[in-house]
Amino acid sequence: MNNRRLITTLSPEAKIGSWLYFTDLFAVLLGLAVFILTHELFGYLLLKAVYGIVIAIIALWSVIRPRNNPFKRNYQVVVFAFKRDKTIYHMVNKKELLFYEEEIFNQEAPLFDTTQKMK
């Protein structure tokens, strides 16, 4: 029989650090390029420093993976939000929403039997 060990830690992305991937480096470098190209707009050194810190925070935030969608990065989620179809709008009716919640609640099995009394 052919016994093969499956390695589950393989990733198609190359890691640079513990959480930074090679593709994330491009986003951070893009933030650095934006700072280099636009830092001359601010005359004071203090404003340049604050602007650089803000750009660094935004660049690092953009490559972090959100908890609710761990397979995407924050910049991918933002791009997806802007690219979604804005011509389709479904109005949410509160009565319909409550009906669906009650229907789901009634379909779920109770965690314990509430009809029996404890001895």
Q: How do residues 27-74 score in pLDDT, each as one tens digit?
A: 889 889 999 999 888 888 999 999 999 999 999 899 888 888 888 888
Percentage with pLDDT > 70 across the chain: 72
Residue with tokens 């479904």: 90
Residue 106 pLDDT > 80: no
Residue 113 pLDDT > 60: no
Q: How far apart are the first and last CA of the chain?
A: 57
| Partners of 15 in beta bridges | 21
pTM, two decimal places: 0.56
Helical H runs in 1-93? 22-38, 45-63, 74-83
Task: Say how many C-beta atoms besides its own lie within 10 A of residue 31's C-beta.
Answer: 21
